Structures are given as structure tokens and as C-alpha cells.
């Protein structure tokens, strides 16, 4: 994928002293034609792609930009759980919220909700765990101070929120299921 796509997006960045949304509402989009599958609705892989765009909005908000990545620092996703709730069609609007569920000096745990931009219906959720890395050594590394400071401010607000009901769900066929 062409990295120039990130240079053309316009993401909001945290401003010192700004009130923290609970949860954050940083990203909106619409279902693009190329996201539509053979069933006539958004393909499952593009739900995750759209959630990745919401993650990019979070990263920009906290100060992870080209200069940050050029310094050799970034976050890598190590685990993702996605739940699909409703189909969505081409050109329909999407709205995302993000809640930080956990944070330490090397790990970031967050949750995205994807809603229909007009109806407000929940379309999908993702829960993700990321590690902060030094890309030069390919090892985990502490989150740089300016980014960590903003993440900590968000975490102070978000840790008081109720946990999403989907958090930590385990996938299994129910034991009492008779096939």
C-alpha cells in the first residue's frame, strides 16, 4: 500500500488542555465501492480495514505522525478481535468511537465501535492489543514521552467508563449445542 495515503488524510490532533471525549470520536468515513463484496454489502475484511483507519485517527490524535515513525517508533498490533453486527451498503456513512481499555509504558489496549453514521446502529466492534516498538531493532520499546503523556490523559478519563460488553469475549460453540 502506498504510504502517501497517510499524508493526504486530515486527522485531528490533541491540543493541550482540551477536554477528553469519553469515548473519543475522531473518525468518520463512508463505505467505498471497492469495499463491496459479491453479496452486495461491505466485505468482512474491509470492516477491519475501516477500524484500522480509526486506529490511525487515534494515533494522529496522540502525536504519532511521520516524524514519530521516522524516529523508528511505532505501534504494532499483536491481537485483534472483531464482532460483526449489521451489514452496510455502498456509500453509507460510518462513525467510529474509540475507548482506551489499558495502557502501560509499552502496551496499548483499545476498543473501537463502528456505527452507521445516520441511524446510529452498531455495525461492528474491534478490541485490539498493540505493542510499542523500536522499528530498527524490531523489539518492544517504551512509548515516547509526548505520546505517552497524551495517552495517559485519555486513559485517566477512559478507565472510569464502563467496559464494553464485548471486551475479552472468548469464541466457542456453546456446550449445550446439539448439531
Q: Grid coordinates in use for 89? A: 451498503
- Quote the CA–CA distance of 105 and 108 in Å, as a whole number: 8
Closest CA to 109 of 128, 137, 132, 87: 128
pLDDT over threshold 70, residue 3: no
Give the per-residue pLDDT at 141. 98
What is the residue whose three cell numbers read 493541550?
Answer: 16
Q: Express as a percent the part of the chain with pLDDT over 70.
A: 93
Q: Evaluate if pTM is beyond 0.85.
A: yes
pLDDT class for 170, splitting at 50, 70, 90? confident
CATH topology of domain 21-158: Thiol Ester Dehydrase; Chain A (3.10.129)
Hey, how many other C-beta atoms are within 10 angstroms of the C-beta on 157?
A: 16
Query: In the chain, where are the structural domains located?
Result: 21-158
- Residue pLDDT, tens place only, 82-117: 999 999 999 999 999 999 999 999 999 999 999 999
Q: What is the average per-residue pLDDT within 170-179? A: 77
Amino acid at each position: 500500500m502506498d504510504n502517501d495515503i497517510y499524508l493526504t488524510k486530515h486527522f485531528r490532533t490533541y491540543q493541550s488542555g482540551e477536554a477528553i471525549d469519553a469515548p473519543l470520536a475522531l473518525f468518520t468515513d463512508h463505505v467505498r465501492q471497492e469495499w463491496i463484496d459479491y453479496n452486495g454489502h461491505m466485505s468482512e475484511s474491509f470492516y477491519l480495514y475501516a477500524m484500522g483507519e480509526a486506529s490511525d485517527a487515534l494515533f494522529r490524535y496522540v502525536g504519532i505522525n511521520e516524524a514519530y515513525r521516522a524516529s523508528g517508533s511505532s505501534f504494532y498490533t499483536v491481537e485483534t478481535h472483531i464482532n460483526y453486527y449489521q451489514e452496510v451498503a455502498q456509500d453509507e456513512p460510518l462513525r467510529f468511537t474509540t475507548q482506551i481499555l489499558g495502557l502501560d509504558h509499552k502496551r496499548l489496549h483499545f476498543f473501537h465501535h463502528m456505527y452507521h453514521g445516520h441511524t446510529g446502529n452498531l455495525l461492528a466492534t474491534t478490541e485490539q492489543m498493540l505493542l510499542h516498538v523500536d522499528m530498527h531493532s524490531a523489539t518492544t520499546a517504551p512509548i515516547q514521552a509526548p505520546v505517552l503523556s497524551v495517552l495517559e490523559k485519555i486513559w485517566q478519563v477512559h478507565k472510569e467508563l464502563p467496559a464494553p460488553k464485548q471486551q475479552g469475549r472468548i469464541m466457542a460453540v456453546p456446550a449445550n449445542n446439539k448439531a
